[in-house]
């Protein structure tokens, strides 16, 4: 294969990024349940998810369509509209910058339950969001600079000039020339619009940036550029990026840690290297097998047999059991909990820190009965 | 100006048939659009003198790779007879589409079938999903009784790994994207055309279902002798399919040839750039530097006197902005439209 | 059909609108049963059958009006006439509008330009003065004539809506798929495009009906209503000329507008309900 790198100027790699160790919890989600009331019953789109995002990391939220990953982050951002509703759970958020928040202590803020009035100051200053198709939500009749500076002035006490300076700084940070500021959205290509959206969203140094499939509609070249901008931003600003995508290859390039969701629940959590080199959950194994790898010889892959289940009627017990090659009786009956992994299941002296999996294979009963 | 006979023979030599006329062929096809609007005038060539020959004997898979704006969708629509070329011709069994008689046109419609990108838009939301199968059976007289129709539909759905009872009777919006695309494949199973023109069929479905879909395409070729023109922007999926590869850049063919050869030794700078942007599946071997993306908007007018890629090309040199490159043979089964491989410009 | 059933299930507005409308139509249909016993065989519009301004009594549950007609009959006949004119004109307007809009949208090109320009002109020119002029000029002002005149200015809206929908539908991938499956043009029009147009046709019908009734009231209040029937608009006109406000004849004054409002409300709610249903259906319920 060709040399994959082009210019001689390197930026910090994944290896050096690890030195910026993810420290404490930024957002801890426990038992999140977000359901939708439909004519046919309750669609349990997010059904008991536990996950923690640390400061200063890139977390890849993976899983196929319908697994609930987009709904989960929409829930955290309180963007769920009827007939959807947050049924239960907590999303404890620990932002650094609290000067503008009224009446909050050093403790966490439960994003699922705080009143809307308290949400607004958090939005954009502490939490930024790039939804799917964000580049198409730029106001077509306003110049880029106006859109961004207006937003800055509205959310902070900055003057117009200060806002303008900040905006230029951010545009340069994502590699866009200052001339972009005076343009209208339709004059920019898809990739440039997306970079504008990213620049705008991190203008106020949020603690958390959530991006939902930001590169799906873009060409590979542009995708590469955008992924690199995100890495860059994370290094320069020290924020946490939660990147939602079904594209495992993108996570391999970008994420420090990953969470794999299926049928509304979290199946496996670990560092990206752990997940790719040693996937534990049978679903994860199936997903990784299905990634076409251009650098390896061609081999036929059978994918994951069966059909994705409906949120109106998740399977009993383990949600994946109807499609799992290793399923046994217990899998049909009991839903496995997301639990830390024992060292002997990974072997080779690999670290198990932070590694969690929701699968009966990795429990003691399994070892006793089936090993 | 390009010597058209050279292009034709190269195209034919690359993907050409073993012993008979290629079933579907594009000869020097160009499609121009006039573009108006603020500040932009002139004619843009969405597809600019592209030639392609698809054979059915033996059946083959050709992947057409290009980014948005490369003209790949326009090209596929011309091959499907949905829009006429501005110049050049599309040939079915050696006869130009414009001159087909009614029975020949019916044959063409039967033997050349599409798979579209958007798994939702291809179904009329008013009807249940099995209607696409029923229409195909009815219009092409594949069954002669209700029972036969029923059996045939079941067989087709099972052939693409779907459970008929879960599918028949449902409306399109009740099924997932992957299921909808597979029902399209069930329709193709019924029709068994000679050629499938698939325009980005898997970009809107998930990874695991993608593999299933691609496997079915490969099976169609091996079991039923169906050739496929697979259009995509994703080199990794093209790689999975194997066969031949054609890389389109701004409406022109940058490089073409055997897929493995092109991917292992890309000869055109654009192909090299595309390959560099394919993510590796190895978290320990990531991109370590930034790509120099000169984000230039697409060339505005049909300029015949320079290479379409010159503004973005890191290896551009003198002749690139003076004339159009021809097609130069790089090795036995690989052709690149780049002056770097022009014998006249090779360093002595 | 499925569409209507689902609209019913999904939208409270739709349910309410349909119920109110059905009740009103039932009343209008049964009206003769109620007023025939009172007025005998004469036309309900005929003045001078009874004494004027009689108070309420068993023979005249609401008394009589200033022209010697039974008041209850006035209201019932008024409802009948207005509903008839509305639906008839609405039906005409929708039919013409759909045909014009469809040809315009499907054919495109010069035909489309010609038709849409004509449609737009009709939309721009002030309808009311022309309506009044036409009504003055025509000698015979039967219900049907009035309905025809009113329909004249109601069809452009339907035409525009249908045209827009057809233009977007003919570009849909499923139409192209039908083409490559060997469906001819006519089959595509009737089996691919038309069924999806039904909701819009229904909406245009509801809208045109309301428009027609408004137009009718507009010409009736100035005394140019149908000469062989009573309409609600005419009743409003009469109430004015009888000085109902000063005389304290509140029923006469308020009931015709109230019924009109009910009709408009029910039709508009039906419209909105259908529209609401159309949108959520396009979204996948699993929250994608």
Band (pLDDT 50/70/90 cuts) for residue C131 is confident
Q: Is B161 left (phi over 0), alpha (psi -120 to 50) or beta?
A: left
Listed residue (C41, C36, C40) closest to C80, CA to CA: C36
Q: How confident is the model at residue C39 (pLDDT cuts 50, 70, 90)?
A: confident
The mean pLDDT value for B212-222 works out to: 91
Give the C-alpha distances (Å, rounded to integers) separating C103 from A173, B61, B67, C95. Answer: 53, 42, 37, 12
User: What does the domain layout of chain C look like in residue ranges?
Assistant: 2-44+59-281
- Least confident stretch, A97-101, B65-69, B186-190, C211-215: A97-101
Model confidence band, residue B292 (pLDDT cutoffs 50, 70, 90):
low
Residues of A in contact with B291 (CB under 8 A): 6-7, 221, 224-225, 228
The predicted structure's pLDDT at residue B150: 92
Chains that touch A (3 or more CB pairs under 8 A): B, C
Query: Is C286 touching A (CB cutoff 8 A)?
Result: yes
pLDDT band per the 50, 70, 90 thresholds, residue A251: very high
- pLDDT value at residue B198: 93
Q: Tens digit of pLDDT for each residue in B226-272?
A: 999 999 988 888 999 989 999 998 888 999 999 999 998 998 888 98
Contact B139 C192 (CB under 8 A): no
Between the CA atoms of A331, A336, A339 and A342, what dihedral angle is there, to the nearest 10 degrees?
A: -20
Q: Which residues in A lie closer than 8 A to residue C9 (C-beta atoms)?
A: 39
Q: Out of A2, A287, A305, whose CB is closest to B266?
A: A2
pTM for the model stands at 0.77
Query: pLDDT at residue A95 above 60?
Result: yes
Chain C CB contacts of B102 under 8 Å are none
CB contact under 8 A, B82 and C196: no
Lowest-confidence range among A85-89, A141-145, A220-224, C99-103? A220-224
Q: What is the largest CA-CA distance in chain B?
A: 73
Hey, what domains does chain A have and what are their CATH numbers?
Answer: 22-126+206-309 (3.40.50.300), 138-205 (no CATH)
The answer to whether C188 and C179 have CB atoms below 8 angstroms apart is yes
B190-to-A348, B122, B187 alpha-carbon distances in Å: 51, 17, 5
Q: How many CA atoms lie within 13 A of C57 on its CB side?
A: 10
Residues of B in contact with C183 (CB under 8 A): 135, 139
Q: What is the mean pLDDT of chain A?
A: 82
Mean pLDDT of the region B143-159: 90
- What is the predicted pLDDT for the residue at C17? 84
Map out the domains of chain B with their CATH numbers.
Answer: 4-280+297-345 (3.40.50.300)
Per-residue pLDDT at C15: 81
pLDDT band at B5 (very low <50, low <70, confident <90, very high): very low
C neighbour chains, 3+ CB pairs within 8 Å = A, B
Residue C283, chain A, CB below 8 Å: the answer is no
Task: Please check whether residue A308 touches B, CB under 8 A.
Answer: yes
- Percentage of chain C beyond pLDDT 90 is 2
User: What is the overall mean pLDDT for chain B?
Assistant: 82
pLDDT (tens digit per residue) in A207-230: 899 999 888 767 787 788 888 888
Mention every residue, 6+ apart, whose C-beta is less than 8 A from residue B287: A4, A5, A224, A227, A228, A253, B279
Q: Output phi, psi for C46, to 5 deg.
A: -70, 125
Residue A97 has a pLDDT of 73
Distances (CA, A) of C126 to C123, C129, C130: 8, 6, 7
ipTM entry = 0.77
In this structure, which topology does domain C2-44+59-281 adopt according to CATH?
Answer: MetI-like fold (1.10.3720)
Under the banding of pLDDT at 50, 70 and 90, the label for residue B2 is: very low
Which of C173, C179, C180 is closest, CB to CB, to B121?
C173
How buried is residue A217: exposed, middle or buried, by Cβ count under 10 Å (0-12/13-18/19+)? Answer: middle
Bond prior to B58 in cis (omega within 30° of 0): yes
pLDDT confidence of B1, banded at 50, 70, 90?
A: very low
């Amino acid at each position: 294969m060709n040399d994959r790198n082009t210019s001689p100027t390197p930026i910090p790699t994944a290896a050096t990024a690890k030195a910026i160790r993810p420290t404490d919890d930024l957002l801890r989600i426990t038992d999140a349940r977000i359901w939708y009331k439909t004519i046919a019953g309750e669609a349990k789109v997010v059904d008991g998810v536990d996950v923690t995002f640390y400061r200063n990391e890139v977390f890849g939220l993976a899983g196929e369509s319908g697994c609930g990953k987009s709904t989960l982050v929409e829930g955290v951002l309180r963007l769920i509209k009827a007939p959807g509703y947050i049924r239960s759970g907590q999303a404890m958020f620990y932002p650094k910058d609290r000067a503008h928040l009224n009446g909050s202590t050093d403790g966490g803020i439960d994003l699922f339950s705080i009143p809307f009035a308290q949400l607004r100051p958090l939005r954009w200053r502490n939490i930024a969001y790039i939804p799917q198709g964000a580049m198409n939500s730029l106001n077509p009749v306003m110049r880029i600079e106006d859109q961004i500076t207006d937003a800055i002035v509205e959310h902070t006490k900055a003057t117009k000039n200060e806002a303008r300076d900040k905006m230029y700084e951010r545009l340069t940070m994502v590699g866009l020339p200052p001339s972009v500021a005076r343009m209208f959205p339709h004059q920019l290509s898809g990739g440039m619009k997306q970079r504008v959206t990213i620049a705008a969203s991190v203008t106020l140094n949020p603690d958390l940036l959530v991006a939902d499939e930001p590169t799906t509609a873009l060409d590979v070249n542009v995708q590469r550029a955008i992924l690199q901008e995100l890495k860059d931003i994370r290094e320069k600003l020290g924020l946490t990026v939660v990147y939602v995508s079904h594209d495992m290859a993108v996570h391999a390039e970008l994420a420090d840690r990953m969470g794999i969701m299926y049928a509304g629940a979290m199946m496996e959590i670990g560092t990206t290297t752990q997940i790719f080199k040693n996937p534990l959950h049978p679903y994860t194994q199936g997903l990784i097998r299905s990634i076409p790898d251009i650098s390896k010889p061609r081999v036929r892959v059978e994918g994951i047999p069966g059909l994705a289940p409906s949120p109106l009627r998740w399977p009993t017990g383990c949600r994946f059991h109807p499609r799992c090659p290793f399923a046994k009786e217990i899998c049909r009956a009991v839903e496995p909990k997301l639990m830390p992994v024992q060292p002997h299941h990974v072997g080779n002296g690999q670290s198990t820190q932070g590694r969690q999996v929701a699968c009966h294979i990795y429990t003691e009963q399994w070892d006793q009965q089936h090993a | 100006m390009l010597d058209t006979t050279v292009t034709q023979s190269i195209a034919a030599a690359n993907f050409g048939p073993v012993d008979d006329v290629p079933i579907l062929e594009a000869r020097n096809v160009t499609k121009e659009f006039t573009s108006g609007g603020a500040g932009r005038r002139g004619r843009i060539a969405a597809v600019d003198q592209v030639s392609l020959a698809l054979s059915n004997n033996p059946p083959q898979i050709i992947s057409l790779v290009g980014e948005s704006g490369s003209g790949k969708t326009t090209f596929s629509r011309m091959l499907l007879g949905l829009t006429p070329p501005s110049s050049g011709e599309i040939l079915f069994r050696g006869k130009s589409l414009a001159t087909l008689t009614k029975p020949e046109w019916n044959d063409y419609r039967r033997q050349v079938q599409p798979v579209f990108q958007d798994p939702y838009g291809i179904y009329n939301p008013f009807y249940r999903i099995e209607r696409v199968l029923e229409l195909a059976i009815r219009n092409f007289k594949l069954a002669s009784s209700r029972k036969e129709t029923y059996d045939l539909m079941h067989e087709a759905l099972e052939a693409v790994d779907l459970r008929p009872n879960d599918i028949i009777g449902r409306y399109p919006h009740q099924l997932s994207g992957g299921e909808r695309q597979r029902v399209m494949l069930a329709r193709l199973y019924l029709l068994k055309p000679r050629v499938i023109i698939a325009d980005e069929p898997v970009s809107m479905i998930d990874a695991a279902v993608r593999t299933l879909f691609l496997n079915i395409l490969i099976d169609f070729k091996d079991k039923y002798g169906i050739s496929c023109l697979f259009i995509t922007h994703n080199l990794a999926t093209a790689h999975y399919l194997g066969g031949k590869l054609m890389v389109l850049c701004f409406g022109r063919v940058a490089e073409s040839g055997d897929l493995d050869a092109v991917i292992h030794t890309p000869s055109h700078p654009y192909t090299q750039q595309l390959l560099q942007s394919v993510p590796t599946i190895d978290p320990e071997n990531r991109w370590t530097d930034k790509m120099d993306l000169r984000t230039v908007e697409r060339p505005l007018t049909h300029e015949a006197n320079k290479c379409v890629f010159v503004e973005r090309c890191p290896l551009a040199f003198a002749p690139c902005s003076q004339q159009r490159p021809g097609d130069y043979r790089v090795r036995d089964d690989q052709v690149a439209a780049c002056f770097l491989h022009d014998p006249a410009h090779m360093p002595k | 059909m499925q569409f209507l059933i689902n609209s019913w299930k999904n939208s409270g507005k739709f349910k309410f609108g349909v119920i109110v409308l059905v009740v009103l139509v039932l009343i209008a249909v049964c009206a003769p049963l109620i007023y025939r016993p009172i007025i005998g065989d004469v036309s309900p519009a005929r003045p001078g059958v009874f004494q004027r301004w009689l108070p309420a009594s068993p023979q005249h549950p609401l008394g009589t009006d200033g022209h010697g007609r039974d008041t209850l009959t006035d209201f019932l006949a008024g409802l009948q006439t207005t509903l008839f004119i509305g639906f008839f004109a609405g039906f005409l307007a929708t039919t013409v509008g759909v045909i014009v809009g469809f040809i315009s949208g499907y054919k495109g090109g010069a035909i489309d330009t010609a038709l849409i320009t004509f449609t737009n002109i009709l939309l721009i020119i002030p309808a009311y003065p022309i309506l009044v002029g036409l009504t003055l000029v025509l000698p015979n002002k039967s219900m049907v004539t009035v309905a025809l005149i009113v329909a004249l200015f109601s069809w452009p809206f339907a035409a525009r809506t249908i045209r827009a929908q057809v233009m977007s539908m003919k570009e849909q991938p499923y139409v192209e798929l039908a083409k490559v499956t060997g469906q001819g043009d006519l089959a595509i029009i009737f089996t691919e495009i038309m069924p999806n147009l039904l909701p819009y046709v229904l909406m245009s019908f509801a809208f045109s009906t309301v428009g027609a009734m408004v137009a009718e009231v507009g010409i009736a209040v100035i005394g140019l209503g149908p000469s062989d029937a009573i309409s609600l608009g005419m009743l409003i006109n009469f109430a004015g000329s009888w000085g109902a406000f000063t005389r304290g004849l509140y029923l006469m004054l308020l009931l015709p507008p109230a019924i009109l409002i009910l009709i408009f409300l029910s039709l508009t709610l039906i419209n909105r309900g259908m529209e609401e249903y159309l949108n959520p259906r396009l979204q996948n319920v699993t929250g994608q």
